[in-house]
Amino acid sequence: MSSLNIFGIAGSGMNAENLRLNLVSSNVANANAVSSSEGDVYKSRQPVFAAQLKSVLDKRQPGSEVRVLGVIESDAPPIMQYEPNHPMADANGFIYKPNVNTIEEMANMMSASRSYQNNVEVLDTAKQLILQTLKLGS
pLDDT digits (tens, 9 = 90+) for 17-39: 999 999 999 999 999 999 998 88
Which residues, at least 6 apart from 102, have a Cβ–Cβ distance to it below 8 Å? 28, 31
Binned at pLDDT 50, 70 and 90, residue 60 comes out as low
The one-letter amino acid at 93: G
Domain enclosing residue 35, as ranges:
5-136
- The yes-or-no verdict on residue 120 having pLDDT over 70 is yes
Mean pLDDT of the chain: 89
Statement: residue 57 has pLDDT above 80 = no
Phi-psi group of 37: left, alpha or beta (phi > 0 → left; psi -120 to 50 → alpha; rest → beta): beta
Return the amino acid letter for 123: L
Q: What is the pLDDT of residues 83-107, one digit of tens each?
A: 999 999 999 999 999 999 999 999 9
β-bridge mates for residue 97, sequence order: 79
Q: What is the DSSP string of 89-115?
A: --TTSEEEE----HHHHHHHHHHHHHH
Q: Are 23 and 45 in contact (CB under 8 A)?
A: yes
**The predicted structure's pLDDT at residue 71:** 96
Q: Which helix (H) or strand (E) holds 66?
A: strand 64-73
Measured distance CA(44)–CA(32) in Å, rounded:
12
Greatest distance between any 2 Cα atoms in the chain:
80
Q: What is the count of structural domains for the chain? A: 1
63-90 per-position pLDDT tens digit: 678 889 999 999 999 999 999 999 999 9
